[in-house]
Amino acid sequence: MSIVTIEKCPICGSIMVKPKFICRDYLASNEDFSVYTCLQCEFLFTNNFPSNNSIGKYYDDPKYISHSDTKKGVVNKIYHFVRAYTIKQKLNFVCKQSGKQTGRILDIGCGTGYFINKAKHSGWEVVGTEKNEPARIVAVKHFGLFVKPEEHLYKFKDGSFDVITLWHVLEHLEDFNDIVEKIYDLLTPDGVAVIALPNCSSYDARHYKEYWAGYDIPRHLWHFTPKTIELFAKKFNFHIAYKKPMPFDAYYVSLLSERYKRNNLVVAAVKAMFIGAVSNIKTLIDKDKGSAMIYVLKKNQ
């Protein structure tokens, strides 16, 4: 298995990086990975992780729902119920932030294509990229969508998208710097990139520490906060035009985190409702505290 070792901060380039804590992959492998921090910009990242060529097996677990679409188990049933509602919310958000009711959308890491399928039925021209082949096949065969492997990103023409979305995807991409550079080129001058990410400076992240499901190592490589995404955006001549917390994530991530702490489902659900609610209440005072956040990036003029 080839391993990627990071010696310089992938955001600011500082060599002052050091291990911060160890996290376990509770979902698939039960292996431990170390999470590093940059002493310069405070960016948190997984280190010594399996490279693009060997990380596939960490996604193969049937519990990994965004690819397999499994409806087994209560947690997955809740996920699917909430997803139907949040997809509509996401499309409304995209329309509002882009100032358009139709246009061209590229969804990077589109999974089985639920979001772009919804957008397509609302009149958007949609394309997606997805590196997981079984998920891509569902998107193409089940929804008849134009969904290509990840490398296809470099085949699209510059300036050809009004909106590019990455719903909980950027944190998975080994070459995230190259991809955001490419996103800049692919967007029209007034285009928007909509990026949803877990927030490791949220209340629930602080509460669950290394059990926090938002770390999801080694599938999540980069652990952003509102502060570090701002630095990252700036590096590519973007700015954060808008940001908002994603309230459902606080409950879902808390529920998974409680399960990782080996609580039975009833105890986990009760505790997760409480922690999720506290996390959401905290966002009323400081919206940067959301368990997960949506960021809207626009090009600097």
As beta bridge partners, residue 38 has: 17
Question: Least Å distance between CB 283 and Zn ion?
Answer: 26
Beta carbon nearer to Zn ion, 9 or 106: 9
Question: Least Å distance between CB 177 and Zn ion?
Answer: 12
Question: Least Å distance between CB 28 and Zn ion?
Answer: 29
- Sole window of 7-15, 119-127, 237-245, 281-289 interacting with Zn ion (rule: CB under 5 A): 7-15
CB 294 within 8 A of CB 244: yes
- Sole window of 11-19, 122-130, 151-159, 277-285 interacting with Zn ion (rule: CB under 5 A): 11-19
As beta bridge partners, residue 282 has: none
- Sole window of 10-18, 27-35, 178-186, 203-211 interacting with Zn ion (rule: CB under 5 A): 10-18
Q: For residue 197, which phi and psi values (nearest 5 degrees)?
A: -145, 150
Beta carbon nearer to Zn ion, 11 or 169: 11
Question: Least Å distance between CB 180 and Zn ion?
Answer: 15
CB 282 within 8 A of CB 203: yes
DSSP assigned state of 293: E
Q: Which amino acid is at 109?
A: G
Six-digit token string for 249: 């994530």
Beta carbon nearer to Zn ion, 61 or 230: 230
Beta carbon nearer to Zn ion, 163 or 180: 180
140, exposed or middle or buried, with CB in 10 Å at 0-12, 13-18, 19+? Answer: middle
Rg (CA), the chain: 18
Beta carbon nearer to Zn ion, 40 or 160: 40
Q: For Zn ion, which residue of 27, 35, 38, 246 counts as binding (CB under 5 A)?
A: 38
Residue 280 has a CB neighbour count (10 Å cut-off) of 22
What's the CA gap between 175 and 231, in Å, rounded? Answer: 17
The reply to whether omega before 218 is within 30° of 0 (cis) is yes
CB 132 within 8 A of CB 77: no
What's the CA gap between 161 and 186, in Å, rounded? Answer: 6
Q: For Zn ion, which residue of 6, 28, 34, 40 counts as binding (CB under 5 A)?
A: 40
Q: Is 43 in the site for Zn ion (CB under 5 A)?
A: yes
Q: For Zn ion, which residue of 6, 28, 41, 241 counts as binding (CB under 5 A)?
A: 41
Q: Is 9 in the site for Zn ion (CB under 5 A)?
A: yes
Interface mask (CB under 5 A) for Zn ion, residues 133-152, using x and -? --------------------
Sites of contact with Zn ion (CB under 5 A)? 9, 11-12, 14, 38, 40-41, 43
